[in-house]
Each structure stands twice: as structure tokens, then as C-alpha cells.
Structure 1
């Protein structure tokens, strides 16, 4: 007999509650301890349902999950893109919830099998994150369960296998909680000893790692990172050159530091110069004058044009020489920095699509800057901090410190900047590199490979961090095995679903 409507009446709100917890688990609220309850409540709401009814509950849970914690997207382009994005991500989310419920009904796990089912549910959750992070158009590499944990001791899991392994660990805790509640009594109850041992390993491992994870730097370099507090939004209509002037003004704070005469690298954020110094002689003169006064190479964001194409770029500038290297953003944000399949999507939202008249081209160069003979920096731009492949390329390319240059001005006083800073904090642990997260308006901070904060600036104020930043050259397990774990997890998730599908057909 099918599920009665009254049962869905409590299951749908329970699933929605699981999704709503994202509002409080992610920064800024950052109540990280409740993160495992998100998959736990969604499992409790769907286990026992058939595939399509579970998909329905998953659809509602997913919409609440995304809209509750990425509402800042509406500040940029309004509610339509937010709903469109949440609905697109819901495609993956709802289907994965349905697949997990289907697996539970076909498997009918008992005793020790319940723990293995919890592992399978965590695998499916993590595989769903992988799909959403990469498809379509490069995906939306945000909203991973692991991104709730920058301030938690659990963040040390990223040292071993990156953000995906941390998501898996949290989803597994949630899965064990759910099956424990559903099967805590009776002769087929979950094996509590095995479950407790698994939970203990999941908690104790990062606690021990947090104590032991204290890598030795190869040297230190003095980095000056400037937050200009500029209205640098993509659609801001300020006087040309005003964003550059904001950052020139804020850079005067460098000279108030006792380290001002020892600076090895000056760093400005993404879009810090709204005049391209490669084409504007006056901008080039001002930039070179500052670099000469500081007495150090200078990296900053600007929009460049080459061969009729526009690029979101970061330049490396030598005092008295000019631009000696550059990096173009490899993964511009779809529907914000470029519009894929423009003619098709314009049929649905012509006004919104026309707001991005000229998209940025995709960069093809690596982000490795040879600052000096003994100083190699790796740079990335804005949302690329959430892209696994970008970080792996920088570390394998020899980066000894990561520069995350970003422009958060479009998102106002929202959670976005804290969520992005939290990702940067996790990346420091994952890569074994200090991460200089420098924004036009904040939150700007320097994170160490232990996850600790070396320096931080108040958002929406001019500021400069002038710090001796440690450089590192080692390789963390995550940089070696993180991609392997993602591949293995994909095979495991698809394999177990396929295996039970085949078993059903044979029966």
C-alpha cells in the first residue's frame, strides 16, 4: 500500500527543517555543530518512501537549503537568478535524496548493514556535491556541507582529503544519527558498538590532527595586503579611476607599519584598479609610483583587453619595469561574468541576460607568480577559491603562499563574504599554505595552514595587513589524494546503486 498523504504532511516539513538548518550552520551564524543534522533530518524525512515521493521531499528540502543561505545572490541580480540557481541545484539534490531512499527500501538494512547504509548515504551525498560543483557550465562550487566547518575542529579532515572528505565525514555522522533513531531497538537494531566506534574515529581523528598539524615554514616574507573599501561592484557607476584612488589612499596605511620598509610583496584585491594600466598611462604612473615607494613587487586586479577579448586579470608589477606577468581568471562565473548559450537563455530573461553585455573570456595561464628568486606565490580570483582544481594546480605549480584576490562589493553586508572567507580558511589547511584573502570591502584575512588567523581587517573600512607570512613547500595528503578520493567515492556511489538495481532486476 502506498504512503498516505498525512505521512507526507509531516515528512515535507521535516525535510524543509533539515534544509533550513543551512541558514544557521554556514557562516555568518556559523553554528557548525548542527551541520550533520542537515542530512540526518532529510534522511529521517525520506527513509521509507519510494523514489518519487522522496524526490518531492528532497525538492522542498533543497529549495529551502539553498535559498536560506545563498540569499545574497538576490542582492546582485534580484530574486529570479536565485530561484533559478536553487532550482538547478535542486535537480541534483532531489534526485540524490530519492536515490538514497530507493536504496534503503531495496536494501532493507539490518544490524551491521545499517552502518554500511549510513556510509552509502554519505557517499551519495558527497557525489551529489561533486556533480553540483561541476555541472553545468562549471557548476556552482558553493554550499558544500564541509563549508560549514571553518571554525570547527572538524576542519582538519580537509588536511587528509579536501572539502569532499570533510563533507563525507559530516554526512556519515548525520547518516548514523538517522539510522540510530530509526533502528535503535529490536533484534535488527543498529550495532551500537560499531556505530560508536565509527563516530569516535570521525571525531577523534581531527582532534589529534589539530594538535599535530603544525608544519615548519621554509621562510617568511613580509606581505602588505590592502583593503580599499571601494564600491567596486560590476554595475557601479562611479567616476572612472575612483576605485583605483580608493586603493591608493588605503595603501598609505602601509607606511604606518613598523614593517613598511621590509615589504616583499604588495597585494591588492580583484578589480582594485578600474583603469587598466596596460592601456592607461596615468594609472600606470600612479601604480608604479606606489610600487616604488613600497619597494616591492605589486599584484592587483584589473580588467584587461587583448585580441578583442576581455579578461578578469591579476597583474604582477615590478617597480620601474611595469607588468612582468599576469593571470586571467580561468573560471569566470556563469551568468555574472559571462553568459553561456546567450541566445537560448535570453528567450527566458532578456533583461537579466542583457545586464551582462560583454562577458569575460576564459584564462589559459597558470596563476604562478615568481615574485623573486626565493618567493613563489600562487594567485586566484574570487570564487575560484571554491574550485578544487585551481588550488591543486597552484600547489603542484610550486606556490608557497596562496593569494585569494576578491571583490565582494556586490553582496553588501551579507553572509557571502564570511562564507567565502571561511572557504579560504579551509583551503589553508587543505593546501598546507598560508592564504591571503584580500577583498575590496572585506572580509580580508590571512589564514595559516593550521586554520588559525594571522591577521584580519574589519569589513567596509580602509585597512592594510602588513605581516610576516610564512611560506611552505610541503604537500598535504589532500593535495595527493583528494582527487583520488572524489573519484573513488563516485565509483562507490554509482556502484552500489547499480548493484542494487541489478539485484532487483534479477529478482
Structure 2
């Protein structure tokens, strides 16, 4: 690998080594981190510029490109997701798995970017639409790394701007992808301006004198276009935010919600009834305040993911005897309505089928409904291929980790509250980070979303804030309130406008009592109806650029001295 560096001019050293490190640092500062808990949007405006500089550098070989991708993926992953090392006995697998997957993703993607953008490549990819291609490519990359079994849709390009409430309203039409594209388009244009200012390339299209494009540098055009798009988003957002706010104020009714944050690390606590005791006491306090202020008990009471450590049944002796001072079963009749809580679901003992789930329990102790988490954490909640005995034996006997894991849930389930004519979808843990998961609940008829999460094991503020920022867009995309009942944070109520109406400080045992508007007349959004349509359009545009590039490359469209650096490999 080092020999590939020695074969290039000294001026390339900083590009191969420094640019990926600088990009990783800027992206870490832009996203929620321990220095800037909310993230920093100023860094979010420049965080991808070093990578643009890198992939528009002529003459890099495959090995040099691989080294740059490795440096960036390794640096950004370990700095942003270091808290995965606290994931109990699976810590090595989670941080290691995420790091390896991100390295593989970036190795392939950097090569694609270089093929599209490097100067000296065939003419169609060296014209002033280079910033547009960069934005298309990176948006498509974010989209595909946010889908599927190995997906992890955190820390996307748009997330540093999560507090720009007006701009974010466009998400109801396009999902997160219009915002990510605009941010990337702006940065690519700004990088192009800086390159030109330093004597960098600026290739004009052949018809520039007819179109008038030649009057302005491509970077300036891209920045201007991105600013114009942002202005349009803002104008749309101001109008829609006002409309949504009025709908919230004129909602048919409000629901009184009580969310419990017991702040007990269930992985570290040896007594599984400790968390229940704290949650029961906080629930009592919340009910007392509800009776005092509103004259009624809460309509919805929710505890967090894994609040019940063992599978619950009405006959369970554990829940009839613990906690010692007042058992869980004796506590339930104090509630007028049902309780929603996280609990394991045991579907079968032979074969063993268990799910990370949510249950709705009546005051009489009966299970009314349940939901099994569909999107499991790879290599932690679920280990692939463990149906094969030799793999499960290897994991348990050689590696020393359980191979059974959770079974994915069967289907989306809504929790019904007949008295309120209310239907609630309950994405578990990081399921509310996946836009399509929340969309499925709303398509099934959910009036509100309730996320049950246990992030207390992370022991860091940034991990919980990264989760909140990702989840926040689900409320806007589907125009449904999002309630978050978490163990250590961030327990919160997010309105359909995307505003955070109330929250509990992280790592504090407390309860959140508030009224939320539920506007059942809220029409289905474009995103709810059509999903990630813009991301597929972006992908189609990128594929079109690739096809055009390959056609011209193999038809002799490039000048003889202009050969793709990925074709002329100097390994």
C-alpha cells in the first residue's frame, strides 16, 4: 500500500492522507457529538468539501483511492460511533461490524466517485455539471446505505440542520433526500469555486456560447442553484408550518400522554425488578399530576424498551411476586387504561422463537396486543445463518457469544385504544431511524407513532442525540406526532411540524406528562403515499450519467491522452 504513495508527486500526499482525515473530523463536528450535542450546522456546510477535493484529483491509482476510503471510513466511524464499544458482550461485533461494513461501502463508493468526477476522464464527466454529479452520487449513496439488513441511517448530510424547522418541512414531499442533495450540491459548488480560485480545472461545455453557461463558473452556478432551492424550501416551509400548526391547534381532540424514563441500565443492573420499581413509582407520580392538572388519568402510558426483562404472561409468578414491595400485577389495577411497555415475546420454546417486542397490558393483567421488532440490529439482536448448526456451534463454542438471538417480527401491528378511537404504531429502538418503517405504520392507519428505546447502555449523550435527530424527521414525513419513551434519553414529544414540544433531560429518572394534538383529518403526505420516490429519481440520474460515461469511454469519446485513472492502473 505504501508503494502506491511513493509513485505519485509529493503534492498528492496531503490529498491521500489529509483530505479524508479532515472530512471525517468536519463530519464528526457537524453531527451530534460530545462537543456540540445538537451538532453544528456551520461545519455541516463544509464537511464534504475535502472529499470533493480528493475525488477530483487527477492521477490517483486504485490503491491510493482505497487508502483514502479506508482512512475516511475508519476515522469517521470510530469517532462518531465509539459508544458502540459499550454494547455489552456484543461490543466487539457491533463496533467491528459497523466499521467493516462502512469500509466496504466507502471502498466501492470512492471508486465510483472518482470514475465520475476525476479530471482527465472522458469529457461528459469533466464538464461543469461535476458538482451536480457529486450531489447525485452521495445522495444515492446515503439512500442505499440506509436500507436493508446492514443499514444504519444515522448522521446523514441533512442532519446538522435538524433545527432549521422551516427548511425541513419539505420532507413531507421528498423525505430527507431533497435536503441531503441540496447540502451536498452547495458544498460541491463551493469546493469547485475554491478549486478554480487555486488555479484548478474549469472545463466549459461545447455549447456554452449558445446557452450562456460560459459566463459563470460551474461552482458559482451550483452554489446559486443550491441557495435558490433552499429559498424555495424555506418559502414552502413557512407556509406549511403555519398550516400544520393551525391543524394542531384545531385538532379534534388531544390525548394525555405519560412517558416514563426510569434511567436504569438493564444490562448492568443485576436485579431485574429495580427498573420496574422505579417505573412504577414514576408512573404513580405522573398519574397524580394528571389528576391534579387535567382531572383524569393519562390516555396513553408507556414505558421504554426492555422495561420488562422476562416474557410476560398473566400467570407469570415473577410478575406476581416482584417487585417485593408491590408486585407488578398488583400495580396494574391502579391504571384506568392500558400500559404499553417493552418486553420479550416468547412465541415458542421448541423451536426457540423469541422477539424483542412491545405489549399492551390491561389493568386486569391481560395482554391486549403485541408487536415484535421487525428490523433487528445485525450481529447483536440477530446473527445471520445461525440456522446452520456448524455456524451456531462456532459462534457459541469458539467465539463465545449466543447464536440464538431474536427472531424478526412477523408484521406491522397497531395498538388500539377504542375509547379514544386511537391507533398507535410502535417502532422499537432504532426502527424509528428508518423512514420506510415509520411509513409502514402510518400506511396501516397509525394516528401517532410511539417509539420505545433503550439507549442507556451507550452511556453517552451523543449516541442518544444522534438517535433523536434521525427520528425527528419521521414526524414531518408522515405528519404524525412521534412519542419517544426511552430508558435514558431522549424521552420526548415531537409534533407533526417537527418541533420538539417537550423532553426529559438525558440520564435522569423522570416522567413526561403532556397533551398532544391528534388531527385525524390530517391528509396523507406525498412521502407517506409514494415513499422514497426522489431517492429513486436521483439514483436513475446517477445511473444515466454512468451509462453515458461508459458509452463515451468505450466509443473513443475521450481524447487519446485523457485516459481514466481507473483504467490505467499504476499498481
Ranges in structure 2 where 5+ consecutive residues have no aligned partner: 205-215, 322-326, 557-571
Q: Give the superposition deviation at 1:367.
A: 3.1
**Equivalent residue for 2:12?**
8
Q: Give the superposition deviation at 1:59.
A: 2.3
CA contact (8 A) 1:253 1:463 kept: no
Provide closer, same or farther for how the CA distance between residues 82 and 275 of structure 1 changes in structure 2, counting only shifts above 3 A: closer
**Equivalent residue for 1:210?**
237
CA contact (8 A) 2:154 2:470 kept: no
CA contact (8 A) 2:189 2:218 kept: no
Deviations 1:290-331, CA, capped at 9 Å, x for gaps: 454231222110012112211111011222262111100001
Q: Give the superposition deviation at 1:407.
A: 0.4
Q: Give the superposition deviation at 1:260.
A: 6.5
CA contact (8 A) 2:159 2:470 kept: yes
Q: Give the superposition deviation at 1:381.
A: 0.2
CA distance in 2, matches of 1:284, 1:392: 38
Q: Give the superposition deviation at 1:338.
A: 1.6
CA contact (8 A) 1:221 1:470 kept: yes
Q: TM-score, normalised by structure 1?
A: 0.90
| 1:329 equivalent among 367, 373, 393 | 373
The farther-off stretch of 349-358 and 98-107 is 349-358
The farther-off stretch of 392-401 and 269-278 is 269-278
Aligned-partner SS, 1:145: coil
CA contact (8 A) 1:380 1:405 kept: yes
Q: Give the superposition deviation at 1:120.
A: 1.6
Deviations 1:150-200, CA, capped at 9 Å, x for gaps: 223443342331123322222212211222222357784624663343122
Provide closer, same or farther for how the CA distance between residues 83 and 334 of structure 1 changes in structure 2, counting only shifts above 3 A: closer
CA distance in 1, matches of 2:438, 2:53: 36
**Equivalent residue for 1:361?**
407
The farther-off stretch of 169-178 and 74-83 is 74-83
| Count of aligned pairs | 501
Higher relative contact order (CA 8 A, sep 6+): 2
Tell me if 1:162 matches 2:175.
yes
Deviations 1:396-449, CA, capped at 9 Å, x for gaps: 111111101100121012411111111222222222111111111112111112
Aligned-partner SS, 1:134: coil
Aligned-partner SS, 1:415: helix
The farther-off stretch of 7-16 and 353-362 is 353-362
The farther-off stretch of 223-232 and 335-344 is 335-344
Provide closer, same or farther for how the CA distance between residues 355 and 249 of structure 1 changes in structure 2, counting only shifts above 3 A: farther
Provide closer, same or farther for how the CA distance between residues 265 and 145 of structure 1 changes in structure 2, counting only shifts above 3 A: same
The farther-off stretch of 390-399 and 491-500 is 491-500
Aligned-partner SS, 1:180: helix
CA contact (8 A) 2:122 2:552 kept: no
CA distance in 2, matches of 1:352, 1:23: 36
CA distance in 1, matches of 2:393, 2:145: 24
Aligned-partner SS, 2:432: helix
Provide closer, same or farther for how the CA distance between residues 351 and 244 of structure 1 changes in structure 2, counting only shifts above 3 A: farther
| 2:67 equivalent among 56, 61, 86 | 56
Q: Give the superposition deviation at 1:369.
A: 1.4
CA distance in 1, matches of 2:460, 2:550: 48
CA distance in 2, matches of 1:15, 1:351: 39
Tell me if 1:175 matches 2:188.
yes
Provide closer, same or farther for how the CA distance between residues 173 and 55 of structure 1 changes in structure 2, counting only shifts above 3 A: farther
**Equivalent residue for 1:396?**
443
Q: How does 1:249-268 map to 2 (within 5 A)?
A: 249-254=281-286, 255-257=288-290, 258-259=293-294, 261-268=296-303
CA contact (8 A) 1:407 1:440 kept: yes
CA distance in 2, matches of 1:353, 1:146: 39
CA contact (8 A) 2:155 2:466 kept: no
Tell me if 1:67 matches 2:78.
yes
Provide closer, same or farther for how the CA distance between residues 389 and 244 of structure 1 changes in structure 2, counting only shifts above 3 A: same
Tell me if 1:318 matches 2:346.
no
Tell me if 1:280 matches 2:327.
no
CA distance in 1, matches of 2:259, 2:550: 55
CA contact (8 A) 2:124 2:549 kept: no
The farther-off stretch of 28-37 and 323-332 is 28-37
CA distance in 1, matches of 2:102, 2:332: 44
Deviations 1:426-478, CA, capped at 9 Å, x for gaps: 22222211111111111211111222111110122211111111114322232
Provide closer, same or farther for how the CA distance between residues 349 and 283 of structure 1 changes in structure 2, counting only shifts above 3 A: closer
**Equivalent residue for 1:293?**
334
Tell me if 1:490 matches 2:539.
yes
**Equivalent residue for 2:53?**
44
Aligned-partner SS, 1:307: strand
The farther-off stretch of 278-287 and 438-447 is 278-287
Provide closer, same or farther for how the CA distance between residues 475 and 85 of structure 1 changes in structure 2, counting only shifts above 3 A: same
Provide closer, same or farther for how the CA distance between residues 441 and 260 of structure 1 changes in structure 2, counting only shifts above 3 A: farther
**Equivalent residue for 1:122?**
135
CA distance in 2, matches of 1:21, 1:410: 27
Ranges in structure 1 where 5+ consecutive residues have no aligned partner: none
CA distance in 2, matches of 1:349, 1:383: 25
Provide closer, same or farther for how the CA distance between residues 149 and 187 of structure 1 changes in structure 2, counting only shifts above 3 A: closer
| 1:466 equivalent among 513, 520, 525 | 513
Provide closer, same or farther for how the CA distance between residues 31 and 225 of structure 1 changes in structure 2, counting only shifts above 3 A: same
Q: Give the superposition deviation at 1:80.
A: 6.1
Deviations 1:120-161, CA, capped at 9 Å, x for gaps: 2111112222332235x3422333223333223443342331
**Equivalent residue for 1:245?**
277
Tell me if 1:146 matches 2:163.
no
CA contact (8 A) 1:424 1:437 kept: no
CA distance in 2, matches of 1:354, 1:383: 26
Q: Give the superposition deviation at 1:284.
A: 6.4
CA distance in 2, matches of 1:346, 1:320: 40
Q: TM-score, normalised by structure 2?
A: 0.81
CA contact (8 A) 1:427 1:435 kept: yes
